[in-house]
Amino acid sequence: MNRKSMINLFLIATGVALLFRAFVIEDYRIASNSMFPNLETGKMIFVSKSSFSLKLPFSSYEIIKFSSPKRSDIVAFSLPGKNQRTYVKRVVAIAGDRVELKNGDLYINGELSKYSDEAPASRLVASASGMVKSEQILGHEPHKVTVDKDKLPNYGPVDVPPNHFFALGDNRSDSIDSRSWGPVPYSNLKGRVVTSF
């Protein structure tokens, strides 16, 4: 292969890689402990950028919308006016839902999420941020959360407006999330977390 062919091949491969990253999959590294115990600091994640919509690269403009996030999805997003930083949190409520936290427990539309100790009870994991337990939101797939009820003030109720979602960190006692920013517009979604390592 001559030099010109190698350069052309390199340019084509680079272009394909950039298009793939812009429209399909992007990788991020978890920068905080807010999603413990499911995503620890330093863990690499891959985000499916086409899960919800096809967007114009480097903007929030949607070319085609495919779906909206569901409760219990882990998503990557930016905040309005702060498009440079990517946040990774769990969607706990969607447009039209009412969110409330009481005594460390999550209520959606007045219904208490299901909590269970991992059997046997001795398998519960104590962490610096609290106790790890299983949470199930309105029949969705259960996931682990870390809760220290002494450090978790009550919150809400708050109604999620149209075209918005409400996101919490799984480390409920040590996360800056929608309790601070409020609901996040769907247009700020970057994608769904599909895998991590």
User: For the chain, what is the domain count?
Assistant: 1
Strands 184-185 and 98-102: unpaired
Q: Is residue 12 part of a domain?
A: no
Residue 32 lies in a domain: yes
pLDDT tens track for 106-136: 999 999 999 987 533 334 444 455 789 999 9
Q: Which domain CATH number covers 167?
A: 2.10.109.10
Residues of the chain with pLDDT under 50: 15-17, 19-20, 119-127
Residue 6, domain member (yes or no) = no
Q: Given this model, what pLDDT does residue 19 score?
A: 47
Q: Among 108, 34, 114, 19, which residue's Cα sits nearest to residue 76?
A: 34
Is the peptide bond preceding residue 157 cis, with omega within 30 degrees of 0? yes
Let me know if residue 11 belongs to a domain: no
Count other C-beta atoms under 10 Å from residue 117's C-beta. 13
Give the domain extent around 176. 26-196
Contact between 117 and 144 under an 8 Å Cβ cutoff? The reply is no
Tokens of 79: 């905040």
> Residue 19 and residue 21: Cα distance in Å, rounded?
5
Collect all residues with Cβ–Cβ distance below 8 Å to 88 and sequence separation of at least 6.
28, 30, 35, 39, 45, 74, 75, 76, 193
| Alpha-carbon gap, residue 163 to 93, rounded angstroms | 12
> Tell me, what DSSP letter sits at residue 171?
B
4 within domain boundaries? no
pLDDT in tens, 166-188: 999 999 989 999 999 999 999 88
pLDDT of residue 163: 93
